Amino acid sequence: MQLRRQPLPAPRPGDPYPAAPLLALLLLLALQGAAAAPAGSGEPEDSGWRQDAEPPRGLLSQAARAALHFFNFRASSPSALRVLAEVQEGRAWINQKKEYKVDLVFTTELYNPEEGKEHLGKCSARVFFRNEKPRPAINITCTRLIEKKTRQEEDYQLYKYMKQLKNLLDVVSIPDSHGHIDPSLRPIWDLAFLGSSYVMWEKTTQFLHYYMAQLSSVKQWKTNEDAIDFDYTVLLHEFSTQEMIPCHIHVVWYPGKPLKVKYHCQELQTPEEASGTEEASAVAPTELSNF
């Protein structure tokens, strides 16, 4: 898979939170200025999309989460991870194949909030939930939460710290049963979350969304070459089915470079639609990667 790179439009000077009409304009401009259309299709502005006046209540949040997972993955920066704060506005279109196109604006917080400091970013995104494609197609731009130089410096500090970590093979269950993460292991959790973001981006649909519940084991932690080579297993919690999905993830990270991810998750036993009756299916592993 080729990584799509999209130039971020420069933040507007002055008011970081333009009023709604201005925001709509910004969204329009951002979308027009965005790079190549989602893989495999042209912009389907007029191919059977009709506006869904009452989108399913969760749809906007699902779209926001998918967009954020993609954003975090693309940023490849464990010190600048974001989580969803609030969806502010959104519109959805549906086509005959029951696929969704969602435009939305939402606010974000830092995944690792600093005491006393409120960092609230704003993002606008367009998300396509397609039936056959392996992952939702995303265009997203966000206001900057941290100075680029600060972020790069923090990533580099993390990298230096990680390079001298040893004996991680006995790490099991982060957080532990009581929700505790040893501060010395927090960077491992963050890197694991970054890798999981790629997986969660790929797996999020209009019906399914995920959280990283636990880092269950470290299979390998190599730092002898330049990059951090991290092989681990996580439990992903899928919300609508309440299932815990074990995934084996392998990431290669170097500050400033795009994250490389390979993964293999146990498939969900139930089909995607809101569960009614389902057949018990064999567990089929899916192996996907970007390197």
Q: Does residue 175 bind another protein (CB under 8 A)?
A: yes
Q: Does 20 bind another protein (CB under 8 A)?
A: no
Q: Among 125, 88, 101, 89, which Cα is nearest to 50's?
A: 101
Task: Pick between residue 31 and residue 181 the one whose CB is nearest to another protein.
Answer: 181
**Residue 119 interacts with another protein (CB under 8 A)?**
no
Q: For another protein, which is the closer residue by CB, 37 or 168?
A: 168
Nearer to another protein (CB atom), residue 27 or residue 80: 80
Binding segment for another protein (CB under 8 A), chosen from 26-34, 69-77, 151-159, 270-278, is: 270-278
Shortest separation between residue 188's beta carbon and another protein, angstroms: 15
Ranges of H-type helices in the chain = 20-33, 59-75, 148-163, 186-203
DSSP H or E run through 55 = none
Taking contact as CB under 8 A, which single stretch among the options 4-12, 20-28, 34-42, 175-183 is the one that binds another protein? 175-183
The verdict on 266 binding another protein (CB under 8 A) reads no
Q: Is 58 in the site for another protein (CB under 8 A)?
A: yes
Site for another protein contains 178 (CB under 8 A): yes
Could you say whether residue 269 binds another protein (CB under 8 A)?
A: yes
Q: Which listed range, 45-53, 93-101, 138-146, 233-241, lies at the site for another protein (CB under 8 A)?
A: 233-241
The amino acid present at 228, given as its one-letter code, is I
What is the C-alpha to C-alpha distance for residues 8 and 76, in angstroms, rounded to an integer? 15
Distance (Å, whole) CA 218 – CA 229: 11
Torsional class of 98: left (φ above 0), alpha (ψ -120 to 50), beta (otherwise): left
Half-sphere exposure of residue 119: CA atoms within 13 angstroms, side-chain side:
17
Cis peptide before 175 (omega within 30 of 0): yes
149-157 contact pairs (CB < 8 A, 24+): 151/77, 151/79, 151/80, 152/255, 152/256, 154/79, 154/80, 155/77, 155/78, 155/79, 155/80, 155/255, 155/256, 156/255
Question: How far apart are the two ends of the chain, measured CA to CA in Å?
Answer: 8
- Residue selected from 213, 223, 231, 266 as contacting another protein according to rule CB under 8 A: 213
Nearer to another protein, 165 or 244 (CB): 244
**Based on CB atoms, which residue is closest to another protein, 139 or 233?**
233
24 near another protein (CB under 8 A): no
Q: Which residues bind another protein (CB under 8 A)?
A: 57-58, 83-84, 111, 167, 169, 173, 175-180, 211, 213-214, 235, 237, 239-244, 269-270, 274-280
